[in-house]
Amino acid sequence: MTLPRRSGFTLFELILVLIILVTLAAIAFPTLEAMVSSRRLQQSAERLQNELLEARVEAMKTGQAQVFRATINGNTYTIEPWLSGNEDSDASAGATVMSASGVVETERTSTGQVALSSISTDGDAKQLDNDVQFMGIETLVDARNALEIQKSGESVPMAGVGTASTGGISSPLLVYPDGSSTTAQIILADTRGRRMAIQLRGVTGRSSIVRLASVDASSIAAIANPAPSKGGW
């Protein structure tokens, strides 16, 4: 008599399938992790580019320059009104000025004049994604940039390209009310050594994002002068 054939899988077959699945997951996971990490770098660059565009709009609206600063080899940065000392006479309603009671905004009165309001304003630090950092910021120090920095009482970087890529807070990157800005390159890097740069054209204030060559991830914080992509900027 022929016994009926049993359906289902043996324990050996189940173990074999599990081994295959674990092997495939081990192969796929690094690739997936790399894709996610690369996307974080791209998103950080795009978000920062959008915030610089918003700062340009704000500068044109209020008549007050905006300033960008970042922590080199860190992921924190600020974009806030530039306080050079003459905001109350030059800026429009909505500008930020220094008064006896602190840093406040200006407002337009019923007579059409610009006056101080009671609204205090504090610049809050922003952050890139956790595995993305500012690797370096290169700013072209021209006469206008130097004059604004002098008016604020800060030290003017040496003429030419003022680099801030060895740690600490970067030199001021200014966005002006006429839509122009400091000519600059902001270099971001992730934990895998991939790099992207936001490049600002000073005359137009426009920005673009470019991908730079990757570097050794273990030496990111030690690099003093990251080179731009082939062809320059």
Question: Does 175 share its domain with 69?
Answer: yes
Task: Assess if residue 54 is contained within a domain.
Answer: yes
Residue 233 belongs to some domain of the structure: no
What pLDDT band is residue 31 in, cutting at 50, 70 and 90?
low
Whether 36 is covered by a domain: the verdict is no
Q: State residue 9's pLDDT score.
A: 67
Split into its structural domains, the chain has a count of 2
Is 102 in the same domain as 200?
no
Judge if 93 and 146 occupy the same domain.
Answer: no
Question: Do both 163 and 181 map to the same domain?
Answer: yes
Residue 34 forms part of a structural domain: no
* DSSP for residue 186: E
Q: What local confidence, expressed as pLDDT, does residue 228 receive? A: 46
Residue 98 banded pLDDT, cuts 50, 70, 90: very low
- pLDDT value of position 114: 40
Side-chain-side CA neighbours of residue 165 (13 Å): 21
On whether both 134 and 168 belong to a single domain, the answer is yes
**Residue 94: is its pLDDT beyond 80?**
no
27 lies in a domain? no
In a domain, 116, yes or no: yes
226 occurs within a structural domain: no
Does residue 131 sit in the same domain as residue 155? yes
The pLDDT of residue 120 is 43
The 10s digit of each residue's pLDDT in 56-86 is 999 998 888 999 999 999 999 999 888 865 5
**Does residue 94 share a domain with residue 190?**
no
User: Is 77 inside any structural domain?
Assistant: yes
CATH number for the domain that contains residue 140: 3.55.40
Q: Domain range spanning residue 137?
A: 45-81+125-219
List, in order, residues 6 or more apart from 79 with CB less than 8 Å away: 51, 52, 54, 55, 66, 67, 68, 126
pTM of the model: 0.68
The Cα 160–Cα 124 span in angstroms is 30
- pLDDT of 201 higher than 90: yes
Confidence check: pLDDT of 200 > 90: yes
Q: Are residue 210 and residue 98 in the same domain, yes or no? A: no
**Distance, CA of 121 to CA of 72 (rounded, Å):** 25
Please indicate, yes or no, whether residues 131 and 62 belong to a single structural domain of this protein. yes
Mean pLDDT of 183-211: 93
Residue 42 pLDDT > 60 = yes
Same domain, 168 and 93: no
Supply the pLDDT for residue 123: 55
Q: What is the mean pLDDT of residues 144-167?
A: 70
